[in-house]
Chains A and B, each alone.
Chain A
Amino acid sequence: MRVSLKWLADYVDVTLSPEELAHKLTMAGMESAAIENIGGDWDSELITVGNVLDVQPHPDADRLVLATVDHGGTEPQTVVCGAPNVEAGQRIAFARAGAKLIDGRSGERAVLKPAKIRGVESAGMVCSGKELGLSSDHEGILVLAADAPVGTALSTYLGDAVLDLDLTPNRPDWMSMLGIAREVAALTGATVREPQHTYDDQADENVPAVVAVEIADPDLCSRYVATVVEGVTLGPSPQWLQERVTAGGMRPINNVVDITNYVMMELGQPLHAFDFSAVQDAKIVVRRAREGEKLTTLDGEERTLTKDMLVIADAKKPVALAGVMGGADSEITEQTTTILLESATFHPGCIRRTAAALRSRTEASARFEKGLSPELAVIAAQRATKLLVELAGGRALHGYVDSYPAPAEEVRIDLTRRRLEQVLGIDLPTSKVRAALTSLGFSVRWSPPELYEVRVPYWRTDVRISDDLAEEVARVIGYDQIPTTNLSGALPSVAAQPLRNLRESLRDACAAAGMQEVITYSLTTQELLARVLPEDEMAARPPLKVAHTVSSEYEYLRPTLWASVLRTAAANLRRHDGELALFEAARVYLPPPRERLEAGELPDEREHVVGVVTGQREDRWGRASDEAVDFFDAKGYVDAALAAVGLTPALSQAERFALLPGRTGAVSVDGRDVGVIGQVHPAVAAQFDIDQDVYVFELVVDELLEVAAGDRVYESDFRYPPVVQDLALVVDRDLPADQVRSAIEQHKLVRAARIFDVYEGEGIADGKKSLALSVTYQAPDRTLTLEEVAKAQDSLLKRLAKEFSAELRA
């Protein structure tokens, strides 16, 4: 909300600078986002209020005039002026040579210099709004109010500081100048001047005698107050009122509308003025709209209403959409003579829903939806009626209609000194507490030794419990006065977080193995997902979509990380040499079947670690070599990551969508499927604009957790020396080498077997390959003799021959 400090001065004396005031308000919960200094750069000597004494034609130019201006100096000054609207008798803003102004044409700041314009000497200027930096208007000069004091510095007369406040949604009272003034008064020790709301009712008739108000749905309207003003004359508002309305960020329209807007901005209560002659049978009914009922609102739109919206109706039809916007038919026009003024309290939620449904959030609805006090309705009705009488030439009827089916009770809170200390952590002196609350308008009775009996002022609809009062006390004395203490008390017991721990260990291990971590957005596009997920799977379990997204790029909750990481790799490849190895550890969201959504179940969120490896291996100098990374580079990262958490993966040939057949392996641990490694199919890689071999791996942390090693148990079987022997075996080319290796490891005297070479070609029969293995024999309880080792190898070879037709290489 924009708060003009000049306007604010109507209600409270501000002695602080705008910056100091902004700081105080910010600290107390009303964040001041910016301060606009109007006229701060106007030279108070050189730019003053002037009076145009005379206007004469320029002797040498048709479109220029010579204006003689009294600017408060010793002598009037005559200057050349090109504005069409300059007239004798006007009060204007006059700048003398030397003043800094904004050039009307270029928009640049420049010093005004004396000049000869078409032969006439001119050492000053009658200013436009643009030249002063007030508006973009450069068509004519800025005309001031007729009573503007000649010779006064323009900065004094027109200057202002406007605070732009970010208000919190709990404080409808802050959406008013008076509310801000109350806050300023409390924080600076000043006193609030409440605006006058009494007036002379010159007409004899009573309002209740001429208008009937019925609240048909009291759950949505707790109070409806109406006054009637006869004989109003529609016209422009006086200058001061127009300035206020403009300062509040609204556009002046006519005196009646300006008054309702002004009072709304002043007191926070939205008002509506009806042309009373358009109200059928002089009857107001506040009721729910009928389903499908139509109403053309002030903005000319025909609205179709629903039964959960509230309308103001006359005897026949709706005349306004309660709390949101008036109807076109009962709008104030030039012909209007009698006004029915509405000041009501509507249900906040209903107004919010209606405004949202009709996409029509207004200044009025923004206030109603935060919950206004019913007390305010009467005060605002009277304040506006008073102004209608004074500024629109009307006569107010006697009294007002007040339909208030269930009057609210004053809110009283018993605040104990103990609770205050319990919440704030400081035992404040009674006098401080009372002063803080009283300054905000609370009435406080202290009954020793413990109790503050607090009565909440009507405008504080947000204060209902003791802790609300604790906050009020704290923010008035200042949060900086709250001490800083450390938590004491018992430490709670801590439950283990095995999934989180495992994921973080894998994250560390991937980075330690040389991969760079990335974090990509959880939302993506259907098109990207379709590159890596098969069509039937996308159709059977469509990824969850979000409604009304920020961008169509972020619309679907990803059930896989592949697309995101591949895209990140592609984006980096353009400027990267050598090996590129990226990984992300994040959640994927598995869409639940519809019936589970309907049962209120959340989607399954699973923790995945996905890596992408591509590019050229690096040489001794860290440069890209001409050797591309291959499947085993990717597998190496998986091996390293799993080794770090004590697991050994087993791979088996597999086929997966988006991966190249023959270069894809399923990863398992202890027989449980935990992931996949593979080369991205070149056709899929091409969709990501990757035209080189690229490998991807995926580990499902939730699955790994099922097989995760517990605490590792130390084995003390290193006492007896191992015997290491190499073995070269010839087997079928297609036999997975690891099957041979793990078969060897099953022998009870073999501690470990390791593959260290694979050879095909000369010396090896077609369709065969030679596997070189290094076998470590060791027994836990004795030193093995060479004879024992030879015997073990013999039996191994027999078994391998039987199982795999493996032969010892000659």
Chain B
Amino acid sequence: MRGPMADQQTGTEVDIEAIAATARAGLAAADDEAALESWRVAQLGRKGVLTSVLRQLAGLPIEERRRIGAEANALKTELEAALESRRLSLAGERLAATVAGGQVDVTLPGRTKRVGRLHPITQTLREMTDIFVSMGFAVTEGPEVETDYYNFGALLIAPDHPARDMQDTLYIDYQRDGAYPFMLRTHTSPNQVRFMEQHQPPIRVVVPGRCYRNEATDPTHEWMITQIELLAVDEGISLADLKGTLFEFAKRMFGQERKVRFRCDYFPYVEPGVDMSIDCFLCGGEGCRMCHNEGWIEIMGAGMVHPQILTNMGYDAERVTGFAAGIGAERVCLLRNGIEDIRSFYQNDLRFLEQF
């Protein structure tokens, strides 16, 4: 900086050095956001000190103008940087003060938000459904109150068929010609027929829903159960595809370690017929009360759709084949979660439900 300069219009001198000193002192004294702001307005604002200096330059000789202009601009840059750094250091001080005085005890409980949960059977059923959906199966549903035709007749279980003993039925208390025409479905299999009546192959569909059996309950038997029906009909579908599909399901649902038993069984509406079981979680296959000493817990009946049913649906049973399975969600859930009594599901004790 040089010596004082004469102001052409007012006659006062422009003393950059003095302006700088005042500004620096003002900044050092500003100790909150409001003070900083008023300092900024006073020094750097549109009507601030530096701005007016720069405005006055117009009346000076060219040489003076350059010199003072350069000095003023340098000062402006310096003050702007100083302002920013003052701001930051003030913010740091504030934060330090907050931290020092406002420490929270992080171990205190959070402000409780109520957590709702889905019933374990809903969760299991969804998981099962999702696995099949990922394999290209669509989802549909059907009625829980069924006719004799869909629940039995169309599945090749005539009125005098001994297989009627396999599923004790809850009939609606309404008789026609000495028979009960309506019942609570004993399985989701009626939907095989309902779906095939409405669609042509290729078919891949799952049908979840409640089913009912008129039987006494025990740790692995419940009178109301939730099944998911699986049906695939197309050219080239075989027992090997059924096995592959069900093993993939078991692997995803239970992991690689659990043992799967895939054995011959009989259901009138499939040929060949299959029963699939998982090793008992409680005894690891040794045999216990849970698995009726068998070491295995059956989770589904399955098989190749009986060709007579395909023919009855108007399909060419020599060309298309299909497989079907009915999987019990309660059994799947108890096997996965180590639940020792299937009846726990519908007792709805919150101490049970809240664990899922």
Contact = CB atoms under 8 A, between A and B. Distances in A.
A468 B113 contact: no
A484 B244 contact: yes
B304 A467 contact: yes
A572 B111 CA distance: 24
A486 B244 contact: yes
B121 interface: yes
A461 interface: no
Contacts of A620: 111-112
B264 A27 contact: yes
A550 interface: yes
Interface stretch (B23-31, B41-49, B68-76, B346-354): B346-354
B210 A522 contact: yes
A780 B293 CA distance: 73
B171 A29 contact: no
A477 to B, nearest CB: 11
B100 to A, nearest CB: 25
A219 to B, nearest CB: 13
A536 to B, nearest CB: 22
Contacts of B170: 523, 546-550
B172 A598 contact: no
Contacts of B111: 620
Nearest to A548: B214
Given A424-B238, A554-B223, A484 B140 contact: no
Interface stretch (B9-17, B79-87, B180-188): B180-188
A168 B265 contact: yes
Contacts of B245: 486-487
Given A33-B292, A516-B353, A475 B272 contact: yes
B349 A572 contact: yes
B321 interface: yes
A490 B202 contact: yes
Given A474-B272, A550-B216, A514 B147 contact: no
Interface string A546-558: 1111100010010
Contacts of A621: 109, 112
Interface string A363-376: 00000011000000
Given A467-B272, A470-B272, A479 B264 contact: yes
A120 interface: no
A169 B165 contact: yes
Given A33-B292, A465-B307, A518 B109 contact: no
Interface stretch (A100-108, A347-355, A390-398): A347-355
Contacts of A516: 116-117, 350, 353-354
B271 A597 contact: no
A805 interface: no
Interface in B197-239: 199, 201-205, 210, 212, 214-217, 223-224, 232, 234-239
Given A426-B240, A579-B114, A480 B138 contact: no
Interface stretch (A41-49, A245-253, A505-513, A721-729): A505-513
B53 interface: no
Given A426-B240, A483-B240, A600 B114 contact: no
Nearest to A586: B210
A597 B174 contact: yes
Interface string A576-589: 10010110001101
B258 interface: no
Nearest to B292: A33
B240 A352 contact: no
A135 interface: no
A545 B272 contact: no
Interface stretch (A77-85, A328-336, A494-502, A675-683): A494-502
B247 to A, nearest CB: 5
A173 to B, nearest CB: 13
A9 interface: no
B232 to A, nearest CB: 6
B124 to A, nearest CB: 11
B328 interface: no
B122 A169 contact: no
Given A29-B263, A545-B172, A521 B160 contact: no
A515 B114 CA distance: 8
B173 interface: yes
Interface in B125-163: 126, 135-136, 138-141, 143-147, 158-163
B329 to A, nearest CB: 11
B328 to A, nearest CB: 14
A519 B141 contact: no
A489 B236 contact: yes
B165 A495 contact: no
B266 A495 contact: no
B264 A600 contact: no
B346 A480 contact: no
A513 B116 contact: yes
Interface in B232-267: 232, 234-241, 243-245, 247-248, 261-266
Contacts of A474: 239, 264, 272
A653 B156 CA distance: 54
Contact of B239 (A352, A424, A519): A424
B230 to A, nearest CB: 11
Contacts of A548: 170-171, 214
B202 A492 contact: yes
Contact of A521 (B201, B224, B239, B240): B224
A488 interface: yes
A447 interface: no
A416 to B, nearest CB: 10
A605 interface: yes
A507 B122 contact: yes
A506 to B, nearest CB: 12
Interface in A390-436: 419, 421-426
A489 B235 contact: yes
B274 interface: yes
A618 B112 CA distance: 8
A550 B213 CA distance: 9
Contact of A602 (B116, B146, B307, B345): B146
A605 to B, nearest CB: 6
A479 B115 contact: no
Q: Tell which of B161, B264, B275 has the most Cβ of chain A within 10 Å.
A: B264
B240 A484 contact: yes
Contacts of B336: none
Contacts of A598: 176
Nearest to A565: B348
Contact of B348 (A423, A486, A520, A575): A520
B118 interface: yes
Contact of A546 (B184, B247, B306): B184
Contacts of A352: 160, 162
A423 B210 contact: no
Nearest to B203: A492
Contact of A423 (B109, B204, B232, B238): B238
Nearest to B243: A484
A471 interface: yes
B353 A518 contact: yes
A603 B145 contact: yes
Contacts of A511: 116-118
B294 interface: yes
A495 B112 contact: no
A449 interface: no
A111 interface: no
Contacts of B326: none
A522 B184 CA distance: 10
19 contacts: A168-B266, A170-B268, A353-B160, A370-B162, A465-B308, A470-B272, A483-B244, A486-B241, A487-B136, A492-B136, A492-B201, A504-B126, A520-B346, A548-B170, A549-B170, A572-B349, A589-B144, A602-B143, A605-B144
Given A422-B238, A522-B212, 7 more contacts: A28-B263, A423-B238, A467-B304, A486-B248, A544-B173, A602-B147, A620-B111
Closest 9 CB pairs of A and B: A425-B240, A425-B238, A349-B160, A514-B114, A471-B272, A622-B112, A168-B266, A29-B264, A169-B162
